[in-house]
Amino acid sequence: MQARKQSRTFWRAILTQPSLWAGILITLLLVGLGLGIRTLRAPLAPAELTYSALLSALDARQVASLEIDPGRELRGRMRPGAGTPGARETGFRVVYTSPTLDEVLHRAEAMGVTVAFTEREQHDRMAALNLLVVLAGFAVLGILLKRGLATQGGHGSLGEESPSSTTFANVAGNEGTVAELKEVVEFLRDPEKFGRIGARAPKGVLMFGPPGTGKTLMARAVAGEAGVPFFAISGSEVTGFLVGLGVARVKNLFRRARKRGGVIFIDEIDAIGSRRGANRSHNEDDRTLNQLLVEMDGFSQREGVLVIGATNRPEDLDPALRRPGRFDRSVSVGLPSADEREAILRLHVLERAVPVGQDVDLGRLARLMPQSSGADLANLVNEAAIVAARQGAVAVAWGHIESARDRLLLGKERTGFRASDGEWQIVAVHEAGHALAGVLCCPEDGLHKVTIQPRGQAMGVAFFSPADDLHLHSRRYLESQILKGLAGRAAEEIVFGPALVTSGARSDLQQTTRIAKEMVYSLGMGQSTGLVAYDPALPLSTETHATMDRDVKEIIEGLYARVRQLIETHRAALEALARALLERETIGGEEAVAILAANGAEPATYAS
């Protein structure tokens, strides 16, 4: 199943390569053209022979073959004369009248010459058809090339020349970035003014930031605020394409923008702008990048053109791009903070005119979506509206949002998923273990809910969400993350015995190992390693490596012993929560905390 899927995606990847199709098309055209020329030339070229000359040629055994087009003409091939070595057969034609045909056929038969009947008309039709196919082929190729040149943006829309309608009002959060961009808007509105006061106006702005953080949105807003057209292209669209096409598209883009001024947006600029020569397979990409540099140097600041490039890999960019007069400004766009997330949610609820119920607290929702981008949040609002609509509700209620969020974070509910009662018991104990350890040792992360409803890859989950975005992590916090992560396995082991622990802890172990490694390798929190940071570029002695790995192991083993102890002490609370889960599948955070507390597991406070 997996293999089949892979091979399908493999073929899809191959078949969607534009250069492959262009190659096939050109080959077909050349072959077609060749055939067409042959069919056209063969019957047209031959010399005309008189009737009597044909008869004597037949007698002299010079005729190699004959073709008869009844009612019109005779065609044939003549052997080269004996005295001309190396010469090839030549074609001839004879216009005949019906009565004379008998004689020719007679003699041809006697001399053993093969005779074929064809219709010249059909021949013509074949040639005409061939020509038509070739012409159609060229037309298609032409259209493809033209579209290749003109297409822009990821939307496949053609040159968006009308001014963009997006403004900064469509952007929430990102105040610093927006403030910087407002400056360049001033310049776009009145490029002459900058020239007059002798200020050097910006030509290019680079935006750095992870996907979905609103880079495209803000570039569009710059154009919208300035009332100029927005031209977009994606670096990945012009790489590895036909020879010269990347260059041509870049030229075309600048030519159009320079006519009336505008914003040229180059998304994924690292695809063309990564270091020349370094780890790239395409020479062609270098030419595209060079063309971009030439174009940027080539226009004057008074033309009112601004180039905005976006990437999430600034370290890959060719330094030549960032010289003065090119992309000499850069702004970075980060993932939104909790407050910004709330503002983005609010904006999208407003923009889409989604009616929202009384019980929806967007601030709370924002805190439940740590590490989410603006695009994730927009998606969440949209998904919640869909859930509500599907249930026939008049407004989006908190429940709709919950289920949209689960769906986005964990994947779809697995309907029809069957597990044995024994398996459910294990999952319930495992998740209750995570919940218990989290509540006991990690006050920073509130328990949002615990569920044994299977979704995506997981059979269950204990959801925590930090009350605030944390930027600094104490050793205690990191340790509590590991404790929480190991608690699922520890609970299984305590309740069912070491022989029955399951594969359910796979991703838990990956995560805890990652944190422990980080502590030792980068954060100077390893017992014996001390304050040394590991640099992958520098070789390490084998001993240092061994010490680090020993430290990692020690951290994990020490914490595992501690979490086992915690769970043994609070086994009654663990089992009470597991039972509740088996009965009701999903338990809200507050209620879960109450069940644990009622059974002797009091939540931790910051002081402890």
Residues catalogued as catalytic:
431
Nearest CB to Zn ion, comparing residues 445 and 508: 508
Choose from Zn ion, ligand ADP, Mg ion, none: what does 173 bind? Cβ within 5-8 Å by kind. Answer: ligand ADP
Residue 48: phi and psi, rounded to 5, are -90, 135
Q: Binding to ligand ADP by residue 408, rule CB under 6 A?
A: no
Interacting residue with ligand ADP among 70, 142, 176, 211 (CB under 6 A) = 211
- For position 309 contacting ligand ADP by CB under 6 A, the verdict is no
143, two tokens: 């259209």
The binder of 375, among Zn ion, Mg ion, ligand ADP, none, by C-beta within 5 to 8 A per type, is ligand ADP
448 binds, among Zn ion, Mg ion, ligand ADP, none (CB under 5 to 8 A by kind): none
Q: By three-state DSSP, how is residue 104 classified? A: helix
Residues 6 or more apart from 220 whose CB is under 8 A from it? 164, 166, 230, 263, 265
CB 433 within 8 A of CB 505: no
Report if residue 171 touches ligand ADP, rule: CB under 6 A: yes
Under the criterion CB under 6 A, does residue 215 sit at the interface with ligand ADP? Answer: yes
Window 368 to 397, contacts with ligand ADP (CB under 6 A): 374-375, 378
Per the structure block, which two tokens stand in for 205?
């702005």
Q: Tell whether residue 216 is a contact of Mg ion (CB under 5 A).
A: yes
Nearest alpha-carbon partner for 580 in 589, 563, 168: 589
Q: For the segment 522-551, give every residue that binds ligand ADP (CB under 6 A).
A: none
Question: Closest CB to ligand ADP among 374 and 488?
Answer: 374
Which region, judged by CB under 5 A, interacts with Zn ion, from 7-15, 269-277, 334-342, 502-510?
A: 502-510
Residue 173 in contact with ligand ADP, rule: CB under 6 A: yes
Using the rule CB under 6 A, give the single segment among 46-54, 166-174, 364-372, 477-485 that binds ligand ADP.
166-174
Residue 310 Cβ, how far from Mg ion at the closest point, in Å?
6
State the Cα–Cα distance between residues 388 and 394, nearest whole angstrom: 8
Q: How far is the CB of 449 from Zn ion (least distance, A)?
A: 15
- Options 41-49, 168-176, 194-202, 274-282: segment touching ligand ADP (CB under 6 A): 168-176
The CB-of-289 to ligand ADP minimum distance in angstroms stands at 21
Provide the residue type at 59 as one letter: D
Q: Which is nearer to Zn ion, 276 or 571 (CB)?
A: 571
| Shortest separation between residue 293's beta carbon and ligand ADP, angstroms | 23
| Alpha-carbon distance values, 165 to 23, 32, 158, 244, 436 (Å) | 39, 48, 17, 33, 51
CA distance 273 to 271: 6
Window 233-272: contact mask with Mg ion (x via CB under 5 A): ----------------------------------------
Q: Which is nearer to Zn ion, 66 or 437 (CB)?
A: 437
Helix/strand/coil for 461: strand
User: Applying CB under 5 A, which of residues 173, 212, 488, 526 lies at the interface with Zn ion?
Assistant: 488
Q: How many CB atoms lie within 10 A of CB 79?
A: 16
Listed ranges 92-100, 198-206, 488-496, 558-566: which one lies at the site for Zn ion (CB under 5 A)? 488-496
Q: Which stretch binds Mg ion (CB under 5 A): 90-98, 215-223, 332-340, 504-512?
A: 215-223
- Residue from 384, 424, 363, 411 nearest 582 by CA: 424
The CA-atom distances, in angstroms, between 600 and each of 187, 440, 463, 570, 575 are 66, 11, 21, 7, 12
Verify binding: residue 174, ligand ADP, rule CB under 6 A. yes
Please choose which of Zn ion, Mg ion, ligand ADP, none residue 213 contacts, taking the beta carbon within 5 to 8 angstroms, the exact cut-off set by kind: ligand ADP
Q: Do the Cβ atoms of 187 and 228 come closer than 8 Å?
A: no
Partner in contact with 488, chosen from Mg ion, ligand ADP, Zn ion, none, beta carbon below 5 to 8 Å by kind: Zn ion
User: What phi and psi values does residue 91 have, to the nearest 5 degrees?
Assistant: -90, 155
- Which residue among 69, 237, 268, 508 contacts Zn ion (CB under 5 A)? 508
- DSSP code per residue over 484-548: HHHHHHHHHHHHH-GGG--GGGHHHHHHHHHHHHHHHHTSS--TTT-S----TTS---HHHHHHH
- Euclidean distance between CA atoms 437 and 566, whole angstroms: 7
Strand partners, 151: 158
| Tokens found for residue 235 | 């670096």
Helix (H, G, I), strand (E, B) or coil at 463: strand
Token representation of residue 117: 């009947």
Q: Is 344 in the site for ligand ADP (CB under 6 A)?
A: yes
3-class secondary structure for 527-543? CCCCCCCCCCCCCCCHH
152 binds Mg ion (CB under 5 A): no
Query: 153, 214, 229, 235: which one contacts ligand ADP (CB under 6 A)?
Result: 214
Stretch that binds Zn ion, among 213-221, 301-309, 449-457, 507-515 (CB under 5 A): 507-515
Which residues are within 8 A (CB) of 307 and not within 5 positions of it... i.e. 6 or more apart? 203, 204, 205, 263, 264, 265, 266, 296, 327
- Count of residues engaged in binding Zn ion, rule: CB under 5 A: 2
For the bound state, the minimum distance from the C-beta of residue 270 to Mg ion, rounded and expressed in Å, comes to 13
In the complex, minimum distance from the CB of residue 524 to Zn ion, in angstroms, rounded to a whole number: 29
Closest distance to ligand ADP from the beta carbon of 344 (Å): 5
Any contact of residue 445 with Zn ion (CB under 5 A)?
no
d(CA 29, CA 144): 14
CB of 214 to Mg ion, least distance (A): 8
Taking CB atoms, the residue at the shortest distance from Mg ion is 216
479 binds Zn ion (CB under 5 A): no
Compute the Cα dihedral for 52, 58, 63, 64 and give only its sign. Answer: positive
For residue 205, which of 195, 215, 190 has the smallest C-alpha distance?
215
Choices 48-56, 211-219, 257-265, 546-554 (CB under 5 A): range interacting with Mg ion: 211-219
The least distance separating Zn ion from the CB of residue 401, rounded to whole angstroms, comes to 25
* Footprint on this chain of ligand ADP (rule: CB under 6 A): 171-174, 209, 211-217, 310, 344, 347, 374-375, 378
Binding site for Mg ion (CB under 5 A): 216
Where do contacts with Zn ion occur on this chain (CB under 5 A)?
A: 488, 508
